[in-house]
Structure 1
Amino acid sequence: MIKFKHLFYTAILGTLLYSCGSDSNSAVDNFDHEAQAVIDNDSLVAFLKNNYYNAELDSVKVIDNGQTSLFDDNKLITKEVVESDINYKLYYYVNRVGSPSVDKGFPTVMDSVYAKYKGQRIKRKDSLTSDFDKGTTWFSLNQVVRGWTHAFIHFKGGDNVTDNGPINYENGGKGILFIPSGLGYRNSGSRDGAIKPNENLLFYIELWDLVQNTDDDQDGVPSIYEDTDGDGDPRNDDTDEDFIPNYADTDDDGDGVLTKNEDKNGDGNPANDFNDPNNPTIPDYLNRDIRIKY
């Protein structure tokens, strides 16, 4: 029941958060994303060199008295990301990684997380807009802008300390994301117009909780493990070529038997059942020659 309710809210939020991002995938074909990535990085570096983290205000501020810039702050991490064959640099600032009493580890790029966030647009090297969005909610890391996907996996959730009041967590991960437009809303901007084309973004984030080994289609195989080609992105794996990626397909090989039922040993994990002597390395749920409902 908990998983079903969670997935219901995840699906709704995924639609809301990723609907704008989906616009970016329909961008003009001849747009030079590689050149834009260079422009974005130059702009982000200039911003990082002209601003610092003010711990007292818990906010990014323009340097006005020799403070250590974000660019030179050892809490700032630079991450190389490749998306659609384009090289991007994603920057994230770690206030704290997270130290929950019950450690669920770091989320994967396919996991569902519960987080608080606030977003601003980076206008110039010394200027941010007011908040264009903020909230606290569940969402799936495979259904949001890719800057979130690649950054949230470096933080941990916290401890639920709610006591007869509003939901409250402590000891969770906390940081700031600096996202190039190519890992945000690209050259299309957001559908509602709040984010313009090719705008770099800043997000303050707190990771509160996560669902380990999120299983989007509830077929017994965690979404992160439905990456049959091993490229780290389960979104592009579709064994039966029905245009539904495996992580969202309840019958991965299209043989008429649900994946969750191709579990001969009954351990709840279809990925470790191999019953075809002619194809001993292919699990039954990906093998159309095995059509027995166990």
Structure 2
Amino acid sequence: MKNCLLAILILFFVSCGSDDNNENCLTKDYTEDNDQEIQNYLESNNLEAEKTNSGLYYIVEEQGTGAQPSSSSRVRVNYKGYFLNGNVFDQNKDITFGLGQVISGWTEGFTYFKEGGSGKLLIPSNLAYGPCKYSTIPGGSVLIFDIELLEVIE
């Protein structure tokens, strides 16, 4: 009986051990690290970006001439999402969604563009999926999106 109890106890501690994908990841703050990573990325790629008070960086390549969305607008867009190392994790063409239903980096970022506009959003983890792993996105990841705002649907 003692051996059985010891085996169960060992199994419990092994299965509940430290893992960046569980509640232990919530103690890590990536804000300063992400900001430095974004600045390094911009410098090494010879890019200039605007930084907002929230920590979002954006680059307007084409401002656009149509309607400008608010944070509660529905929009139709093309996008490609990738990490700082260039690995693509998601992309979509002609997709429609509400800006209130997405990561806060998108909710804020798309409001800097008008219909027909395009550019980049460099989103620190606190404006994306946070310090914990989400699907294929490692915790604390900076996300970059090439975006094109096709239409604002009020």
Bin of the TM-score, shorter chain as denominator length: 0.7 to 0.9
Partner AA of 2:26 in structure 1: F
1:199 aligns with 2:145: no
Shift of 1:120: 0.4
Partner AA of 2:62 in structure 1: R
Secondary structure of the corresponding residue to residue 144 of structure 2: strand
1:140 aligns with 2:98: yes
The counterpart of 1:43, out of the listed 3, 27, 37, is 37
Distance 1:93 1:28, change over 3 A: same
The 1-side partners of 2:23 and 2:58 are apart by 29
The 1-side partners of 2:136 and 2:36 are apart by 23
Instruction: Output aligned runs, 1:61-76, within 5 Å.
Output: 69-70=46-47, 73=48, 76=49
What TM-score comes out, normalization by structure 2 length? 0.79
The 1-side partners of 2:39 and 2:111 are apart by 23
Distance 1:206 1:37, change over 3 A: same
Distance 1:111 1:187, change over 3 A: same
Higher strand proportion? 2
The counterpart of 2:152, out of the listed 197, 204, 210, is 210
Instruction: Output aligned runs, 1:117-136, within 5 Å.
Output: 117-122=79-84, 127-129=85-87, 131-136=88-93
Task: Structure 1: give runs of 5+ residues left out of the alignment.
Answer: 1-26, 52-68, 82-88, 158-171, 213-294
Q: Structure 1: which 4+ aligned runs deviate by more than 2 Å?
A: 27-33
What TM-score comes out, normalization by structure 1 length? 0.43
Task: Structure 2: give runs of 5+ residues left out of the alignment.
Answer: 1-21
The equivalent residue for 2:76 is: 114
Higher helix proportion? 2
The 1-side partners of 2:131 and 2:91 are apart by 22
Percent identical among aligned pairs is 30
The 1-side partners of 2:35 and 2:127 are apart by 11
Distance 1:80 1:43, change over 3 A: same
Greater relative CO, 1 or 2 (CA 8 Å, sep 6+): 2
The 1-side partners of 2:151 and 2:65 are apart by 12
Instruction: Output aligned runs, 1:62-101, within 5 Å.
Output: 69-70=46-47, 73=48, 76-81=49-54, 89-100=55-66
1:188 aligns with 2:132: yes
Shift of 1:30: 8.1
Shift of 1:121: 1.2
Q: Which has the larger radius of gyration?
A: 1
Residue deviations 1:172-205 (CA, integer Å, cap 9, x gap): 0100111101111111222xx3211111111000
Shift of 1:135: 0.7
Aligned alpha-carbon RMSD (Å): 1.7
1:174 aligns with 2:118: yes
1:31 aligns with 2:31: no
The 2-side partners of 1:134 and 1:156 are apart by 20
The 2-side partners of 1:116 and 1:30 are apart by 32
Q: Aligned residue pairs: how many?
A: 132
Partner AA of 2:52 in structure 1: K
Shift of 1:91: 0.5
